[in-house]
Amino acid sequence: MPRYRLLVEYDGRPYHGFQAQADQPSVQGSIERAILAFCGETLRVHAAGRTDSGVHAIGQVIHIDLEKAWDAAVVRDALNAHLSPEPIAILDAAVAEPDFHARFSARERRYLYRILNRKSPPALERGRVWPVRNPIDAEAMHLAAQALVGQHDFTTFRDVNCQAKSPIKTLDEVLVWREGEEVRLAFTARSFLHRQVRSMTGSLAQVGLGRWSAADLAGALDARDRAACGPVAPADGLYLVSVAYEAKAAK
């Protein structure tokens, strides 16, 4: 039974997250229906990350096991045909090693958050960015964000419904920079807590808006208290950008 590794892009707005739900549209549910239409198999898709409602992806990774050894390009093209016109695309497909797992084999995940920082609201990018009208100091955000790098107890930035066994995570990198009217934040780690990126982004935005100092952000982290978190950033601007694996993960 061959295993396939698929690279997936999607617009999260029409879906109640990646994970399949009985009574709500989901990215996982749509892909599983496309597989059924393609080869008649009912199976479960395994993903690198279960993104929340409204969160987008340009580099989600999933794996599936099919009974027949199809050419990887056929799998890609057939699934795209059956997914149309939904805003989900299989960008690439490859035969993976039998022990490859989209979630457990992952060594690094990278998220991007986009803030549109201008007076006018978005028209073409509505639902894909967080619009903030007041001026944001991206450099101040970047400097403050370095306090988050490393291994910490991220209870402050952990959703109350998070199911992770421990609030301790290691954040490898946080970058904040401006590109024209956008302020962008990039977060890299092996894994994240539930809504950790949106929680950190919302608090960093308080720094950029001049409402918090860098010391306030560090203090919020040290508090290890969800009540110390700033307003959580909306799902609109969040993207799962890439997932990194060891070189042997696909062939």
Catalytic positions are: 52
Nearest to 145 by CA among 235, 218, 198, 240: 218
The answer to whether residues 21 and 12 touch, using CB atoms and an 8 Å cutoff, is: no
The answer to whether residues 51 and 12 touch, using CB atoms and an 8 Å cutoff, is: yes
User: What is the C-alpha R_g of the chain?
Assistant: 19
The answer to whether residues 193 and 159 touch, using CB atoms and an 8 Å cutoff, is: yes
103-19-28 Cα angle (round to 5): 90
Helix, strand, coil percentages (3-state) for the chain, rounded to 5, are 30, 30, 40
Using CA atoms, how far apart are residues 184 and 241, in angstroms rounded to an integer?
13
Helix or strand holding residue 4 (H, E): strand 3-10
Q: How many Cβ atoms from other residues are within 10 Å of residue 84's Cβ?
A: 11
